[in-house]
Chain A
């Protein structure tokens, strides 16, 4: 089966600019996650969707980050305005459901560098 797709793979922007990332989960997966992985650290959950509803966004910096999954399939994560500390890899993952200890499958990530 096709895996989780993400684009772009790399992005370089200057601070205070905006950027958007796109994710297409595995077909049929109801749950979608966005993680931030800073160099040398484990992934940290930013937001979790179940279909097109938000399940958990407690760690999303809502003053600058936003995410949507309007039709319950693809999702976009936006940062506006970006800060230097936002430099990280942004990973998208999906699973069949969230409540059944389902395996999360990760996409290749988008590597963001903020100058």
Chain B
């Protein structure tokens, strides 16, 4: 099955700096890659996703890049703010019938004021 590895497990940045979180996946059939943000004690919420037919997607301060050849994708947050502090999870899903979403282990992002 799919295996998703996520790095780093913790990340601290100064407010205004950029943050980058990286994930690798194992199943070359994966073609859907969402990113979820989970604040303490709250539900995971989708912040951005990318499909394998594009290499990059941007939404205001967040962007995701995908390298299918290398089987890795990254989340980029620019001009970080304290409210960006949360745990971020990447996930991957292979195409085909009944394929499940496999999550990475999460990155605790702390934005220092």
Q: Mark B17-42, 1 if CB is under 8 A from A, else 0.
A: 00000000000000110101000001
Contact of B51 among A55, A91, A101, A108 (CB under 8 A): A101
Contact of B105 among A42, A101, A104, A107 (CB under 8 A): A42
- B44-A91 in contact (CB<8A): yes
Measured CB to CB, the nearest residue on chain B to A43 is B103
Q: Chain B residues near A106: list those with CB within 8 A.
A: 36, 43-45
- A103-B49 in contact (CB<8A): yes
Known A-B contacts A103-B34, A106-B43, A106-B44; A98 and B106 likewise in contact (beta carbons under 8 Å): no
Q: Chain A residues near B103: list those with CB within 8 A.
A: 42-44
Query: Is B89 at the interface (CB under 8 A from chain A)?
Result: yes
Known A-B contacts A91-B44, A103-B34; A45 and B100 likewise in contact (beta carbons under 8 Å): yes
